Structure 1
Amino acid sequence: MTDGGYGDFEFERRFLVRSVPPDLRDAPTLIVQSYYLADEGYALRLRAKAPEVDAPMAPSTDALDTLAEHADAVDLCTLTVKGPTAGGTRYEAEREIDPAVGLQMIRRGGALIVKTRYSAWLGDDGWVIDVFGGANHPLVIAECERTGPVTDLRIPAFCLTELTDDARFSNDALAGRPFGGWRTAFDAELESTGPHFAQDFGRNQRL
């Protein structure tokens, strides 16, 4: 996380996506996360990242098997403490740890998330698009993060609705209550209410 003068806080907006546009399937990274604590927005997370690994995500994707298959490609492990999200802002303190230690810890415990992340530059902002596997398949979330509040955002057309302050879609919540178990209910909810884009972050524009 880049410090823009706000210390250990991150600023982001997040959106539901149905699928990754073909022209944005670049810069893939396999990510496996283990949550040793996830309660009411507070989380303790261990993350392993394997760059340039475009691992297919499906309901049958097993986080530990996928990590084992690509363990040699893991070049970064981080241990992160997070606080609850409020208005697109969240406390996050992060430290790098030795990948060998991180991989062994992930194998030994915690609630797991597996996903492939794609990175793209859209308009004036860098975006990441996460494609989830396992029990969270077929969830896809796009995220824009800045070093300060994410205001006056140009939102790509492939973003269907905003999830920024929907706690159900935080990764720590998804580790304990995967999307696959309530996808049908959410789709019905979205059909009933229609898409929503927050109006308290300045002026939204669509790309």
Structure 2
Amino acid sequence: MSDTGYGDFEFERRFFVRTPPAELLSEPDPVLIVQSYFLAQDGYAMRLRVQASGLRVALGPDADPLAVLDEVGDGFEFCAVTLKGPMNVGTRYEAEREIDVTVGIEMIRRGGLRIVKNRYSVWLGADGWVVDVFGGANAPLVIAECERSGPVTDLQIPAFCETEVTDDARFANDGLARAPYTGWAAEFARELDIRGPRFLTDFGRNDVQHRG
């Protein structure tokens, strides 16, 4: 449980990235994540996640989460089970408990809706950001996320963030587990072309950085 006074809640804003900066992807220690959703419906989710840091595993459209489990094997050093509630204006209930890595891997092997991604971390302005580069059925999707211990207001938004998807359930990881990006990427591209970029106005001032 958080000691910030907000209890088991997370605060985040998420953005679609068309082209991540090359210097970000050259980070030496990305985190490889395989997760499986045993429940993913109506914004409620029960997730198992294993992760490994300090290694590079290429994740193209043919990446299979189970094959990644086999490839990395004992390289996974962390596992947790997480319960989530629906997103509500950048706020979501989340309760997490660390569990034995071996048990978690075997449970992921045995069921759930699986996704795989590489996570890159970067400090931009006043905030830490993570950028998730998905493999398998969600390739080549890239999502950037800023998370704080309280509401994410008055945010400096990096130029590589194409449009905000905080309130778009399709881009939540549990949504991607149920309906992978490749199945509706063309539809989303048309939506974006028609309406253009958008950034939510419920969070105070948006300082959107311009592309150089």
TM range (shorter): over 0.9
Match of 2:14 in 1: 14
CA shift, 1:2, in A, is: 4.9
SS at match of 1:70: helix
For the pair 1:183 / 2:185, whether they are aligned, the reply is: yes
Task: Give unpaired runs (5+ residues) of structure 2.
Answer: none
Runs of 4+ in 1 over 6 A off after TM superposition: none
Task: Give unpaired runs (5+ residues) of structure 1.
Answer: none
SS at match of 1:107: helix
* Structure 1 segment 48-197 matched on structure 2, within 5 A: 48-197=50-199
Distance 2:37 2:112 in 1: 5
CA shift, 1:76, in A, is: 0.4
TM-score w.r.t. the length of structure 1 is: 0.97
* % same residue: 62
Equivalenced residues, count: 207
TM-score w.r.t. the length of structure 2 is: 0.95
Contact 1:46/1:77 (8 A) holds in 2: yes
SS at match of 1:56: coil
Distance 1:149 1:138 in 2: 29
Distance 1:20 1:105 in 2: 33
Match of 1:31 in 2: 33
CA shift, 1:20, in A, is: 2.3
Distance 1:50 1:2 in 2: 24
Contact 2:2/2:8 (8 A) holds in 1: no
